[in-house]
Structure 1
């Protein structure tokens, strides 16, 4: 089981539903309009020459190929258990925090890695040719990364492994299982010892209910080579820092309620905003009239109330026992036999 409860679909997971819908629409829009280059991040020439720093905030918005879209959508769907664990608003806030840290750290790693690797290569060239040191700038594997929320998914992957418990385990046997018997116990032990001495090949593989998450994330991490490996490794580090309570500002960070409502249900927010604006335009509306205060009690009114209460009590009280005549015991016997 990959979730805490057997709830299927997007029940109680509005953030996951919105993320998948928005991701699908963005991927289709970028492919249809042929504007995939707007979500691409490259140090040279986009940052160095053109100073397009806004790409640091856009390269995680959407993927640009079919395999990345399929793997990321399946992972988002599996991570809906985290939304039930954290709550929708906290989960959306966590995604925003991971997006910020992964964007900044990815840009820093690419910039520093590009400069450092070029400096090392220039130094090696100087030592080989015995010429004065000259910095030569060239494109390396630190120049660009794959577009898509790889770092965010990697951080959520670490949270999934830390917070979601394992429900069950199972074994995959690589050899036929032998049924032990009383007469063949000694022979089986000798056979096991002999087979163990032959090599260290395992007889079985133990897996748990998280194995499909591990497989999907591994495929996503190596799907674009170094272009997807770098952001995934950065996301793993960010996720590990969060699970160890070392990520600054992540525990108490919550998005405003207006942003949360706009993300999960923009239509409902627009309707409520329209109603509030209409009420303001209509102007002053009188409040409902308050009930009139009761008159202050006077001595005459108190006496009348006391008399009324006494009359009610007199009508409700049973007749006094002394008003009926007392019958002697003999008369009671005679009246009994007469009947």
Structure 2
């Protein structure tokens, strides 16, 4: 949803209106605009359940939040930020770093002073969640801020954020928007947990194992060799422990994988950009080595064959749990 396009606003009102929009969307903050540049800003936002996604583009700027801002609006949030256009910078207390399209920034209002910036024309994409949604101690979140580049989850979350921004307009009004937000939240929690240090490291790792497992599986659904044994080895646990964690979380891992592979294949069967591909090719690309097995599972799940689903252009059908 477009919140602001300053080209549509009288020049004298642009800066004040941008400040109003930025504060209303992300909470109390301070903004300074690059001198000598023609001021221009475009702000878009989308809500996916617990996650609010923002895209801000335009002329150079400096944006910061402090403990004082937290006291002003009392909403404590965690933000994850990347810079798809231009070269930006990030400051957290005494920690400084450059930010490009290949980087992620993690920060929290309660973590102390933090600042993002870019010079010239740039675009920042970020999402924000309430701290309470992460269900992690704030000190664990704060400790993760300067370490985000070390997490094996960071590339996964960055890829997810890019894809979410690219398809935000299409996805935001779908029935799966809430689940997309939940997945984004789970990946963020897994990232922070992966950076836990000291005595709490083991506890946090155990508490978030299922989240990390499902995040890994979701990112590797196309791998035909995705087996419980492989997943367990990647996460340094036994297959027995993996099954126990999944059972405690109410998840049947094999069925969870198959359901999401089927749903992904079902979408591609009727997507115009995949019209040139055969049904078997789509099935194989989502880990189904046997066309007959794919056909049986598809019909059991949706009450229609893959060929009929494609021919009908995606006619809604019942789902069998």
Q: TM-score, normalised by structure 1?
A: 0.21
Q: Which one has the bigger helix percentage? A: 1
Structure with the greater alpha carbon radius of gyration: 1
Which structure is richer in relative contact order (CA contacts within 8 A, separation 6 or more)?
1
- TM-score after normalising by structure 2: 0.22
